[in-house]
Amino acid sequence: MADKIKITVQRYRPEQDREPWDQSFEVEYTRETSLLEALNSIKDTQEPTLSFRWSCRMAICGSCGMMVNGVPKLACKTFLRDYAGQEMRIEPLANFPVERDLVVDLSDFIEKLERIKPYIIPKKGESQPGEQREYIQTPAQLEKYRQFSMCINCGICYAACPQYKLNKEFLGPAALTLIYRYNEDSRDGGKEERMKLVNQDTGVWSCSFVGYCSECCPKGVDPASAIQLGKVESAKDYLISMFKKKGE
Amino acid sequence: MDLEKSTRQPYVRPVDSTWWTKKGFYTAYMLREGTCLLVLAFVLEMLGFYIAALTGANGLWKFASFLGHPVMIAFNALVLVAVLYHAFTWFPLMPKALRVIVKDTKSGLYKLLDGKYLVILLFAALLGVTVGGIVLFYYPELLGRLLSPFGLVKSIVESQDPSSMPNGDTMKDVSKLVQDYIGK
Amino acid sequence: MDVVKADVAIVGAGGSGLRAAIAAAELNPDLKVALISKVYPMRSHTVAAEGGAAGVVRDDDSLDYHFHDTVAGGDWLCEQDVVDYFVHNTTRELYQLEHWGCPWSRKPDGRINVRPFGGMKVPRTWFAADKTGFHMLHTLFQTSTKYKSIIRYDEHFVLDLLVRDNQVYGVVTLDMQNGVVRMIQAKSVIIATGGSNRCYRFNTNGGIVTGDGMALAYRHGVPLRDMEFVQYHPTGLPGCGILMTEGCRGEGGVLTNKDGYRYLQDYGLGPETPLGQPKSKYMELGPRDRVSQAFWQEQQKGRTIKTHLGDVVNLDLRHLGADYLEERLPFICELARAYVGVDPVKEPVPVRPTVHYTMGGIETNGRTGTRIAGLYAAGECASVGIHGANRLGSNSLVETVVFGRVAGEEAAKFAAENEHTDTAPLTQIAQESLDKALSLVSGERSESVSQIRNEMGDAMEEGIGIYRTDESIRKTIDKLTALKERYRNIKINDQSTIFNTDWLTAIELGFLLGNAEAMAYSALNRTESRGSHQRLDFTERNDEQFLKHSLATYNPDGAPSITYSDVKITKLPPAKRVYGIEAENAEKAAKAAAQNNGGNQ
Amino acid sequence: MFRKDRSDEPIYWGLFGAGGMVVAIALPVIILATMGLTHSLTDTVMFGEIILSPLPSLVFISLMILCTWHALHRVYHTLHDLNVHVGTLHHLVIYGLAALISLAFIVCWAILVFKNIF
């Protein structure tokens, strides 16, 4: 007989509710059941109006970020077996406005990803290789940014970051990581452009290295490390700019 | 279902300033940041030591005995705990600000020098300096001979008005006299 | 109703949609490109592709080899002129992605690395560790932010196309976040919505892969071509159906049954190649249809392993070693550990065939144009003609960029040549489509959407699986007809407008039912065995009668009508499709014959 | 304060980092030393000799100064973490205090050296 677990989900319907309210469900599960499968079975059999984002169910698309007992996680990679004997409390991803039930407004996060010029900007005076040629990039050069290119844009690090909670202007872990990913790509020449954002108070300098973003990141991208590396780069940039004449 | 006029009403959850009490990870972070208050206190103690030194040897001596007061010992013990907690949280974060890419000869892959090695390295440094410090402190003559050509302390002691001080010309006599004085 | 004007509207922001948007923006920067997607672009299912993207790059490879592999792999049902264009443009597009920053895996000297893949004679599959789709999609999305003329409409659900006297004038969408209807008037529309694999209960696809674009075009009279060819990927995890990329076998992984025997050699893929030295077109590197069919045969013989998640075989990667697995297949290790609690370094991974790709789709010509003027289709949702009866692994990811670009450029040209018509009649059409979608919403009725979806999935799994019979297909068709009846009576409890997923999943179910029916009837009428469509009652390939594409045309009140269209054969006359030692012998024979002809002339 | 186009945080962060190293490595020894002063005046005199002779005390006060900037940098950011909206006033006050303490150390050191030479 499959075990049972009580799951309390925070609901919010903008037309009817002034503020969120809780609704509890009883769900059967086996060793393989993920929270996403549980939510889908609740939606199919108990509460069809429950809304949440999901798609790939293999922790690669980044749709199903939500708070599980206060910890930001991907629903598809959270297993009920790890909560046996406890209750599960599911809330929408922290630090984002709640649109409806477990769906949050990620537009601030997505806008920040777009603001940082996340594309290869060819180096000045160096033309891109021809149509049938690639940039030469050794595995060592690839390794410098590879880990930071694994970000699936799920927004969990923004939910984990107290600095983003306190100051929504903060560019945030994922955006700063993406900047570092492109700055360190041997093919890119846009570092000077992107450092303008990094050097601001709302850039790397809002980070007080709590480190919880790296703790919660479901793909082990370690954004906290990217930000510290960003601070080192920004500090170097600050020093260099001191000696450069103002007029330059 | 009126699909003409939007009824969107995003609910913004309030930001409470006790957020850091709600999760062990955040509390540990705030404690780590909180160690700064104790560090500041100790720094002010040391400043006090300097100011006391300005007033002459007995000022120095008075302040030293103040530092020796059990309450101050306890407080400094607390500061020591805070400083060690700071050290234990500081060193693991060091490798995060450093990217060392090495070629792993066995598998021929390029890998990040694992943070563990850096942390062990730095802890070794911490241990070395602490032990070195203690040894030098209890055998200051090693340090004395190395570093103090002017013998500043002797001059301060001598320049004081002798009457206010137990008399005696050399450092050894002064310390013996003060020793007896305390003994009474 | 909120009306927005754009020049080119693109439905779907996966690999094809994004590449089309970039191509249109690059071709004509003052065109307004509306990129519409029901999810944020980086959630599109391209992100889940793992294996790689095929592009000739090695010296010992040639475009002819790639052409031959693709056509033979497709069991000669491919449009050979389109395949020719395809093979000539794959490498160029992959280099373009590399210039845009895609982190392709490299050889020690810094050049692009390729790995062997099923059905490919020479290794030509570019890969980015085992997350090729993820890196391609993120590269395309991030690069698309460079073009200011691309305006994105994220989380907009496309309810219908605006078609009037066989020309398309835009789409009507539901803005899920604001709960309002928005008509996007455009001079040309590109459909890039991906496959329709959620018709099946057990598949490797995400929840969003419900063939919306296919259904929309289908309902406006565009025939769906070759819908009976549904690809089963041989190695998916039991229970959740998550994909274990073919790259595992490309890197040397082997499939063994319950006795530890590498059973593929019994099914025309032998002889057994040594452990850890995969050989192109041999054993585990056979094409997907053959390897999936071998599983079914083993299952019939009772030599598969019984588990609480169903019958499986073992995908054994242990001999590759921990370091090699961590570098080449890190994501596979992560998935196996998380979802079936198996560490590939220590134990074999349980796998079974799962539905993975829809070979068929919206009928398009070689330039992605459809029968409706101004309507284009690219990627998995389209049947441009390169996959035929069975797609080779790593041909699909590269197809998204090759034909995504073509669609983008064609649509941009079409938009530049045409002017906007007046909006009033279009709003009228949009309102009708909206009312039709709203008619689904009612509290009184009784049928459950999820119930119908599951029954459809099971019926498709049983009737139109790896092996089919006339009787099993008819049973599925009867079930689908009953389900379509019950669909008229579904109950939708959610009357809200913001993120009403209850209503949206119901609409998606309607699309799926239509696509499933097209698959079923096409399968029924193709009384032969070809590629991934294998009939137990017609086991042979019948070129005289069935060297033809099937076309399913929508019929509002009944079964779709099935007709056939010719297959363009240019260079490669139909021949027996062989793998393993047979392939080698056939090749030697062909070379010998070529020398003789050479000698005589 | 110095730069309008960007944050001056690198300065404070640099001092904070150096200070952090000092606190982590040097402070434990120093604290242990002060706790040892109860044994005798000789220890005091010896401790005094170390921290009051010009060269070692110069090293000593620079360590203390770095610790000051480290501590007050953290005070500034912790105020922010406690949801206090820190503005330029807080910035001036807190880092001003750090400058003040540093100055105090330097002045004491100068006086000691000055008194001793003349």
Neighbours of A104 (CB within 10 A): 27
Mean pLDDT over all residues of chain C? 93
Residue-wise pLDDT for C465-498, tens only, equals 999 999 999 999 999 999 999 999 999 989 899 9
Residue B129 forms part of a structural domain: yes
Higher pLDDT, D30 or B68: D30
C513, HSE (Cβ side, Cα atoms, 13 Å): 26
Residue-wise pLDDT for A199-224, tens only, equals 999 999 999 999 999 999 999 999 99
Q: Which two tokens stand for residue B50?
A: 């300097």
Tell me if residue C402 falls in helix, strand or coil. helix
Amino acid identity for residue C527 in this structure: T
d(CA D100, CA D104): 6
Cα→Cα distances A215→A157, A159, A220, B55, B132, Å: 9, 12, 8, 53, 36
Residue-wise pLDDT for C250-291, tens only, equals 888 999 999 999 999 888 888 888 888 888 888 888 888 889
- For A225, name the nearest residue in chain B, comparing CA atoms only: B96
Query: Do B96 and A144 count as a contact with CB atoms less than 8 A apart?
Result: no
Q: In this complex, is the C-beta atom of D11 within 8 Å of any C-beta atom belonging to chain A?
A: yes
CATH class of D9-117: mainly alpha
pTM for the full predicted model: 0.92
Q: Are residues B134 and B82 in the same domain?
A: no
Tell me if residue C258 falls in helix, strand or coil. coil
- Phi first, then psi, for residue B169 (nearest 5°) are -100, -35
Bridge partners (DSSP) of residue A7 are A25, A88
Query: Do A118 and C145 count as a contact with CB atoms less than 8 A apart?
Result: yes
Contacts of B169 (CB under 8 A, 6+ apart): B158
Which pLDDT score, from 0 to 100, does residue A102 have? 96
pLDDT above 70: residue B16: yes
Which pLDDT score, from 0 to 100, does residue D48 have? 63
Exposure of A246 by Cβ count < 10 A (0-12 exposed, 13-18 middle, 19+ buried)? exposed
Nearest Cβ partner of A132 from C91, C208, C335?
Answer: C91
Query: Do D10 and A208 count as a contact with CB atoms less than 8 A apart?
Result: no
Range among C217-221, C304-308, C570-574, C576-580 rated most confident:
C217-221
Work out how many domains chain B is built from and give that number: 3
Contacts of C158 (CB under 8 A, 6+ apart): C11, C36, C38, C171, C172, C173, C212, C213, C216
Q: Which two tokens stand for residue C513?
A: 């039912």
Peptide bond into C330 cis (omega under 30): no
Which pLDDT score, from 0 to 100, does residue B153 have? 45
Which residue, among A177, A55, A61, A53, has the nearest Cα to A112 in the 3D structure?
A177
d(CA A39, CA A45): 10
Residue B126 forms part of a structural domain: yes
pLDDT above 70: residue D10: yes
d(CA C375, CA C225): 16
CA-based angle B91:B94:B99, to the nearest 5?
150
Q: Which two tokens stand for residue C421?
A: 């018509």
pLDDT above 70: residue B172: no
Residue-wise pLDDT for C403-420, tens only, equals 999 999 999 999 999 999
Which pLDDT score, from 0 to 100, does residue D43 have? 59
Which pLDDT score, from 0 to 100, does residue C110 have? 92
Exposure of D38 by Cβ count < 10 A (0-12 exposed, 13-18 middle, 19+ buried)? middle
Length of chain D, in residues: 118
Which pLDDT score, from 0 to 100, does residue C593 have? 79
Which pLDDT score, from 0 to 100, does residue D1 have? 62
Residues C377 and C20 sit within 8 Å (Cβ to Cβ):
no
Which pLDDT score, from 0 to 100, does residue D30 have? 81
Rg of chain C over Cα atoms, rounded to whole angstroms, equals: 23
Which pLDDT score, from 0 to 100, does residue C524 have? 95
- For C57: left if phi > 0, alpha if psi spans -120 to 50, otherwise beta; the answer is alpha
Which pLDDT score, from 0 to 100, does residue B171 have? 40
Residues of B within 8 A of D60 (CB-CB) are 46
Which pLDDT score, from 0 to 100, does residue B114 have? 63
CATH class of C232-356: alpha beta
Proportion of chain C above pLDDT 70, given as a percent: 99
Which pLDDT score, from 0 to 100, does residue B137 have? 64
Bridge partners (DSSP) of residue A8 are A24, A89
pLDDT above 70: residue C335: yes
Residues A67 and C521 sit within 8 Å (Cβ to Cβ):
no
Residues of C within 8 A of A138 (CB-CB) are 106, 108-110
Which residue, among C236, C204, C289, has the nearest Cα to C533 in the 3D structure?
C289
Which pLDDT score, from 0 to 100, does residue D39 have? 47
Q: In this complex, is the C-beta atom of C95 within 8 Å of any C-beta atom belonging to chain A?
A: yes
- Phi first, then psi, for residue C544 (nearest 5°) are -55, -45
Which pLDDT score, from 0 to 100, does residue C18 have? 97
- pLDDT mean over A147-162: 96
- pLDDT mean over A189-195: 95
Which pLDDT score, from 0 to 100, does residue B103 have? 76
Residue-wise pLDDT for C423-451, tens only, equals 999 999 999 999 999 999 877 888 999 99
pLDDT above 80: residue B32: yes
Q: In this complex, is the C-beta atom of B112 within 8 Å of any C-beta atom belonging to chain A?
A: yes
- Rounded to the nearest 10 degrees, what angle do helices C470-487 and C449-463 cross at? 170
E-only strand ranges, A31-131? 65-68, 71-74, 88-92, 98-100, 103-104
- pLDDT mean over A73-92: 96
Which pLDDT score, from 0 to 100, does residue C600 have? 46
d(CA D73, CA C562): 75
So where are chain D's domains?
A: 9-117
- For A195, name the nearest residue in chain D, comparing CA atoms only: D6
pLDDT above 50: residue B173: no
pLDDT above 80: residue C208: yes
Q: In this complex, is the C-beta atom of B93 within 8 Å of any C-beta atom belonging to chain D?
A: no
Nearest Cβ partner of B8 from A14, A222, A224?
Answer: A14
Residue B134 forms part of a structural domain: yes
So where are chain A's domains?
A: 3-104, 107-243
d(CA C252, CA C319): 8
For residue B42, what are the domain limits?
19-91
Residues D48 and B60 sit within 8 Å (Cβ to Cβ):
yes
Residue-wise pLDDT for C69-84, tens only, equals 999 999 999 999 999 9
CA distance, residue B111 to nearest chain D CA (Å): 27
Neighbours of B74 (CB within 10 A): 11
* CA dihedral of residues D85, D88, D94, D97 (deg, nearest 10): -160
Residues C159 and C507 sit within 8 Å (Cβ to Cβ):
yes
CA distance, residue D57 to nearest chain B CA (Å): 10
- E strand or H helix at A23: strand A21-29
pLDDT above 70: residue C390: yes
- For B25, name the nearest residue in chain A, comparing CA atoms only: A212
- E strand or H helix at C185: strand C180-185
- pLDDT mean over B74-84: 91
- For D4: left if phi > 0, alpha if psi spans -120 to 50, otherwise beta; the answer is alpha
Which pLDDT score, from 0 to 100, does residue B148 have? 43
Query: Do B6 and C178 count as a contact with CB atoms less than 8 A apart?
Result: yes
When pLDDT is cut at 50, 70 and 90, the band that residue B139 belongs to is low
Of A181-185, B90-94, C61-65, which gets the smallest average pLDDT? B90-94
Residue B11 forms part of a structural domain: no
CA distance, residue D63 to nearest chain A CA (Å): 22
So where are chain C's domains?
A: 232-356
- pLDDT mean over C296-322: 92
Residues of A within 8 A of B29 (CB-CB) are 162, 210-212
- Rounded to the nearest 10 degrees, what angle do helices B70-93 and D27-35 cross at? 170
- pLDDT mean over D33-40: 60
Amino acid identity for residue A169 in this structure: E
E-only strand ranges, C21-77? 33-37, 53-54
- pLDDT mean over B138-155: 48
State the fold for domain A3-104. Answer: Ubiquitin-like (UB roll) (3.10.20)
d(CA D93, CA D84): 14
d(CA A152, CA C331): 13
Q: Determine the distance from the C-alpha atom of residue C293 to the mean position of all C-alpha atoms in its chain, rounded to a whole number.
A: 19
Mean pLDDT over all residues of chain B? 72
Which pLDDT score, from 0 to 100, does residue B58 have? 66
Which pLDDT score, from 0 to 100, does residue D59 have? 84
d(CA C299, CA C293): 10
Active site residues per annotation of C = 233, 249
CA-based angle C247:C252:C257, to the nearest 5?
100
Which pLDDT score, from 0 to 100, does residue C286 have? 86
DSSP at A170: S
Which residue, among A171, A166, A173, has the nearest Cα to A215 in the 3D structure?
A173
According to CATH, what is the number of the domain A107-243?
A: 1.10.1060.10
